[in-house]
Structure 1
Amino acid sequence: MDRHNFLFVSIDGLVGDVAWRVRQQGHDVRYYIENEAERDIADGFVEKTDDWESEVAWADVVVFDDVFGHGTHAERLREEGVAVVGGTEYTDRLEEDKGFGQKELERHGVNILPRRQFTDFGEAVEFVRENPARYVIKPSGEVQNVKRLVYVGEDDDGGDVIDVLQAYEKAWGHRMKAFELQRRADGVEVAIGAFFDGNAFVEPVNVNFEHKKLFPGNVGPPTGEMGTSMFWTEPTMLFEETLAPMEETLAEEGYVGYIDLNCIVNGRGIYPLEFTPRFGYPGIFIQEEGMKTPIADLFYDIAHGNDPDLRVHRGFQVGVRICLPPFPFNDDATFVENSRNAAIVFRESFEGERPAGVHIEDARRVGPDGSAEGVTPADGQWRVAGNSGIPLVVTGRGMSMREAQAQAYRRIENIILPNMYYRDDIGDRWVTEGDKLQSWGYLR
């Protein structure tokens, strides 16, 4: 195996486990986190840097983990001849501007739901009054990652959407400068994704089911994600009718990385909702669980224009986010009292650097003196890091979804972390909804 240098560039410290995995696969890694409040994430697991630009000449591959300006950096570096896994200004806009993403799908011949972009709450309220129906409110721009602001309307006349819009204007009008109203469609929510090597999609593709609400049974506030179930497959109808038409445009852009498209499907059709042209979290950790090909090899090949050989395990994968107070909300006092620097303990000892199926998200490793400097796996203790309250993701895999699910939850039983909580039903959606997708023909 050739040894390579990988530079990971992150906004909020999301990609730490992937960086650690690449280091475990025998490569040299340096990791930069922009957000100062999150900079202790992955301390003691990988080497860190405070100036990623100065490390570019050292790197054989530069990996960006988010949008919000990273596409501009990635494009610039590619023009300079640097091997990059990351987006472009175009692909960043696909995610940041949901209206633009829908227009691009429509331009490529993909069926979409009726939607309309707004920058004025009063105008949106009048639109709903004149066009009564069930709508979904989707923030754009700065606040689009505040997932609790996504509201799925229930009233046939749109009355609840009007109430929520008026409340948002008072509470969020100073930050929520643009948003979209999209007609609600009932059906199965499922996402289709694939890696892209700058020229074409890499097969196999990934079918995944996100579990976004805080509590089991899909109730409570939206969190972004509490866990995901998935499987790798050859291209299906779901892929061919949604992502596949984007291939030529992504090749023209020179996009390199993973891209995902969340959809609602029913017996009448497939309705794409929104793009994620970057790694998903915790999706990328669960995808690692399903890969036979080392993820470092995949990154190196797609960044250098080589023909990637993505080999995967048969069957299913499940990943569960382990959370602490005050997630999914922001409350510094609660985080300090209940979660900051909490020790993560494992009931059973493990070989190597990590227990099977355990991935770090907001975690660090420190030595007996409390420092991450020079810490080793033998003398290091895992601690909660950052300020988001999502220290770990635990994964499992199996030939059936139930088998993958059972393995993930057995692994969680090995963790001792006071005040931790998680959903105990990740994977159930496939059991209840997989038959529908099969009968509608979208997985053929």
Structure 2
Amino acid sequence: MRILAYSPRLYLGDIYLSLLREGHDVRVFGADPPDQRAFGGILDPIADWHDGLRWVGRDGVVLFEGVAQGARQDALRAEGYRVVGGSALGDRLENDRAFGQAALRDAGLAIAQSSGFASPELALDWLRAHPGRYVLKHDSGAATTFVGDHPRGEDVAFMLRRSPGGGVLLMERLAGVEVGIGAYFDGQDFLRPACIDFEHKRFFPGEMGEMTGEMGTLASYEGAEALFEATLARVALRLRAAGHVGYVNLNLIVDAESGTPWPLEFTCRIGNPGFAVLAALQPAGWGDLLRRIAEGGAGSFPAHPGWSVAIVLTAPPFPATQPGASPDQDIPVFFGTPPWRTAEEANHHLVDARRDAAGQLLGHRRSGHLMIVTGIGGTVPAAQAAARARARNVVAPELRWRADIGDRFLGGEDALLRRHGWLPLA
């Protein structure tokens, strides 16, 4: 199958490598300057996007990475191209926080108290008049989410004063289990099974430190149906009307006392490290799944039973960035037992990496976002053990990773969800 990928910075380059290993004909267009691109010396992107479109034709699949290209995808679909990635609606659901909450309310879901503002300054004025504990979210991914602890919101006020600007949302802080429900949408309906996932966004074990993009995830394609039907499934009509084709995830808080699932935010694209934690549970590979999504009507796809654990491996400056870092500062990455060209390769997912002329694997110092390792098992502890073993096999200067991915679930989240009927009784 011919597959053309449009990528802002090749952070999903591991998917393209997987497709190549599966035997597909893959071409990648990178929108960023070549000297700033991930996967240098590993992937060879094409220089002309329009040449790529002519090559892939209407029988191939065009895969979009990231957000903010929804209108372009909609236009290509109108021209007869088979496009997987997102839509203009998906962009707005994810990037316009207040719009996303309104869409959830319109779908019949109970939503938490929240207030949207055109600027951090307006939000700060409102906070002074309405002190309390809030979660701060930025439109368009301008900054990471901040979860406030101060009872009068003084910590949120500080973050608003240093905000990069743009629209923001203040949402009441809820107590409970944070859980995600995700599924692939083929333009008409969701493919089954849906997944259930538990993200770990704090930098340090024990949920300490700053919020990051994500430090790891626990996921399964089993047990998601109850929450899926009560939440994400209700958005299907709106996605169908918009012609959305791609992955959709809804992040929730399940109230500890009542069991009410409160929807927090959408992700309307293939995420990172979400792609890796799910790839480990998708035995037919990315090519088969992309074909089913693009063609529509498949209804389902094969999935492994059990659990998957993804661990993000980083080095300084992560979770900060150092955009001006020179190539000689890039981080060498080694392995106790090299995984490449073995079955282990599928469990090692590069992110912001390259190879030099001598073949040495390097992580870009600009982000320190090196790779993701995954492990699967019939139980959460078995999946944890497999992922941790792979993480310990990686050697790099100043390497950091969380060894507790999945511990929250074992420590009480699973029991709470089962008690409220959102997971099957063990």
**TM superposition score normalised by structure 2:** 0.92
Match of 2:311 among 309, 320, 323: 320
Indicate the residue corresponding to 1:374 in structure 2. none
Amino acid at match of 1:218: E
Match of 1:202 among 168, 191, 197: 191
CA gap 1:137/1:17 in 2 versus in 1, 3 angstroms: same
Indicate the residue corresponding to 1:57 in structure 2. 54
1:234, 1:217 → 2: CA distance?
25
1:317-396 pair list within 5 angstroms: 317-332=308-323, 335-336=325-326, 339-340=329-330, 342-350=331-339, 352=341, 355=345, 357-366=347-356, 369-370=357-358, 380-385=359-364, 387-396=366-375
1:414, 1:153 → 2: CA distance?
36
The question of whether the paired residues in 2 share the 8 Å contact of 1:91 and 1:277 is answered with yes
The question of whether the paired residues in 1 share the 8 Å contact of 2:311 and 2:372 is answered with yes
Indicate the residue corresponding to 1:66 in structure 2. 66
Indicate the residue corresponding to 2:106 in structure 1. 107
1:118-133 pair list within 5 angstroms: 118-133=117-132
Indicate the residue corresponding to 1:162 in structure 2. 157
2:301, 2:48 → 1: CA distance?
32
Deviation at 1:385, TM superposition (A): 4.1
SS at match of 1:48: coil
1:148-297 pair list within 5 angstroms: 150-165=145-160, 167-168=161-162, 172=163, 175-233=164-222, 235-266=224-255, 267-268=257-258, 269-297=260-288
CA gap 1:21/1:337 in 2 versus in 1, 3 angstroms: closer
1:265, 1:12 → 2: CA distance?
34
Indicate the residue corresponding to 1:77 in structure 2. 76
The question of whether the paired residues in 2 share the 8 Å contact of 1:115 and 1:182 is answered with yes
Q: 5+ unaligned residues in a row in structure 1: which ranges?
A: 371-379
The question of whether the paired residues in 2 share the 8 Å contact of 1:66 and 1:278 is answered with yes
The question of whether the paired residues in 1 share the 8 Å contact of 2:329 and 2:365 is answered with no
Amino acid at match of 2:277: I
The question of whether the paired residues in 2 share the 8 Å contact of 1:204 and 1:234 is answered with no
CA gap 1:382/1:114 in 2 versus in 1, 3 angstroms: same
Amino acid at match of 1:15: L
Deviation at 1:119, TM superposition (A): 2.2
The question of whether the paired residues in 2 share the 8 Å contact of 1:189 and 1:209 is answered with yes
2:35, 2:300 → 1: CA distance?
34
SS at match of 2:294: helix
SS at match of 1:327: coil
SS at match of 2:304: coil
SS at match of 2:345: coil
1:402, 1:442 → 2: CA distance?
21
SS at match of 1:265: strand
Q: How many pairs align? A: 417
Q: Does 1:404 align with 2:401?
A: no
Q: Does 1:436 align with 2:425?
A: no
The question of whether the paired residues in 2 share the 8 Å contact of 1:9 and 1:63 is answered with yes
1:343, 1:157 → 2: CA distance?
45
Deviation at 1:384, TM superposition (A): 2.2
Indicate the residue corresponding to 1:9 in structure 2. 6
The question of whether the paired residues in 1 share the 8 Å contact of 2:375 and 2:383 is answered with yes
The question of whether the paired residues in 1 share the 8 Å contact of 2:61 and 2:81 is answered with yes
The question of whether the paired residues in 2 share the 8 Å contact of 1:212 and 1:225 is answered with yes
Deviation at 1:414, TM superposition (A): 1.6
Indicate the residue corresponding to 1:417 in structure 2. 396
SS at match of 1:55: helix
Deviation at 1:13, TM superposition (A): 1.6
Q: 5+ unaligned residues in a row in structure 2: which ranges?
A: none
The question of whether the paired residues in 1 share the 8 Å contact of 2:91 and 2:268 is answered with yes
**TM superposition score normalised by structure 1:** 0.88
Cα deviation digits, residues 239-277 of structure 1 (max 9, x gap): 112101101111111111110011111232111100000
Cα deviation digits, residues 93-143 of structure 1 (max 9, x gap): 0011011000000011111001111124454334334333321111113xx
Deviation at 1:394, TM superposition (A): 0.5
Q: Which moved more, 1:226-235 or 1:388-397?
A: 226-235
1:384, 1:229 → 2: CA distance?
24
The question of whether the paired residues in 1 share the 8 Å contact of 2:190 and 2:299 is answered with no
The question of whether the paired residues in 2 share the 8 Å contact of 1:317 and 1:396 is answered with yes
The question of whether the paired residues in 2 share the 8 Å contact of 1:30 and 1:46 is answered with no
SS at match of 1:257: strand
Q: Which moved more, 1:130-139 or 1:381-390?
A: 381-390
Cα deviation digits, residues 290-316 of structure 1 (max 9, x gap): 112221111012112251541111110
CA gap 1:337/1:297 in 2 versus in 1, 3 angstroms: closer
SS at match of 2:372: strand
Indicate the residue corresponding to 1:377 in structure 2. none
Percent same amino acid at aligned positions?
35
Cα deviation digits, residues 148-191 of structure 1 (max 9, x gap): xx3222233334433443x33xxx3xx41211111111111111
SS at match of 2:195: strand
CA gap 1:73/1:419 in 2 versus in 1, 3 angstroms: same
2:101, 2:300 → 1: CA distance?
32
2:419, 2:217 → 1: CA distance?
22
Deviation at 1:280, TM superposition (A): 1.3
2:392, 2:248 → 1: CA distance?
33
1:161, 1:12 → 2: CA distance?
31
2:155, 2:312 → 1: CA distance?
31
SS at match of 1:22: helix
1:19-34 pair list within 5 angstroms: 19-34=16-31
